[in-house]
Structure 1
Amino acid sequence: MIIYNVTLNIDESIHDAWLQWMQEKHIQEVVDTGCFVSARLVRVLVDEEMGGITYSVQYYANTKEDLERYRKEFAPALQQEGMQLFGDKMLAFRTDLEVIKEFYSIHEIPH
């Protein structure tokens, strides 16, 4: 399993519009490319020195090839929409992660 992690710092002036766009449109469009099996949106619980609110979006792909297909075929257009809507009030950086092994508590069923 490959996790394509996108960490974003969002200026408070566009936060509500950005969050709505992410939840109602963008994340589902990325998943709908067929390159990912699921996604998770999380808020980073840290006070940023530079201000803003930080989120992480984790997109789960079965293979590195699926992630590369996303980058080649879909990413430019999908990322461009965010830049057109929010410009420099949205700062993003991306990290590729490979799941080695998952561990679960014996007291809880995984979600």
Structure 2
Amino acid sequence: MLLYNVTVIIEDAVADEWLQWMKEIHVPEVLATEKFVSNRLLKVVDSPNEGTTFCSQYIAETLEDYEDYQANFAPALQAKVQAKFENRFVAFRSLMEFID
């Protein structure tokens, strides 16, 4: 099992709009790819950064599912986020493997 984490630091002025959009539009679109079995959305409480920091986490059962998502779905979905919130956020992505 793998955890795909996307950390986003978004301007405070659009943080509520971003969160609503994530819940209603983006996360359902990511899950509709059927490459992830679950997800969670978290807000970083003690972030040292300006703006609001969120983590979107998605669980993939196999590396193949994750790689298929990256090759065939991620570019278009990331482009939608970029278009909607252009120059209002930065994102960092990481892939982690569950140990237990």
* Bin of the TM-score, shorter chain as denominator length: over 0.9
Question: What CA RMSD, in Å, does the superposition of the two structures yield over aligned residues?
Answer: 0.9
- Map 1:1-111 to 2 at 5 A: 1-49=1-49, 51-101=50-100
Q: Tell me which amino acid in the other structure corresponds to 2:71.
A: K
Q: Distance in 2 between matches of 1:5 and 1:80?
A: 17
The percentage of aligned residue pairs carrying the same residue is 45
Greater helix proportion = 2
Counterpart CA distance in 2 for 1:57 and 1:47 is 15
Greater RCO, 1 or 2 (C-alpha within 8 Å, sep 6+): 2
- Unaligned 5+ segments in structure 1 are 102-111
How far is the alpha carbon of 1:44 from its aligned partner?
0.9
- Structure 1 residue 46: Cα displacement: 1.4
Unmatched segments (≥5 aa) in structure 2: none
3-state SS in 1 of match to 2:58: strand
- CA gap 1:99/1:47 in 2 versus in 1, 3 angstroms: closer
How high is the TM-score relative to the length of structure 2? 0.96
Radius of gyration: which is bigger?
Answer: 1
2:36 aligned partner, one-letter code: F
TM-aligned CA deviation for residue 48 of structure 1? 2.5
TM-score, normalising length: structure 1: 0.87
Q: How many residues align?
A: 100
* Superposed displacement of residue 16, structure 1: 1.4
Per-residue deviation, residues 64-105 of structure 1 (Å, max 9, x unmatched): 11000000000000000000000121110000000011xxxx
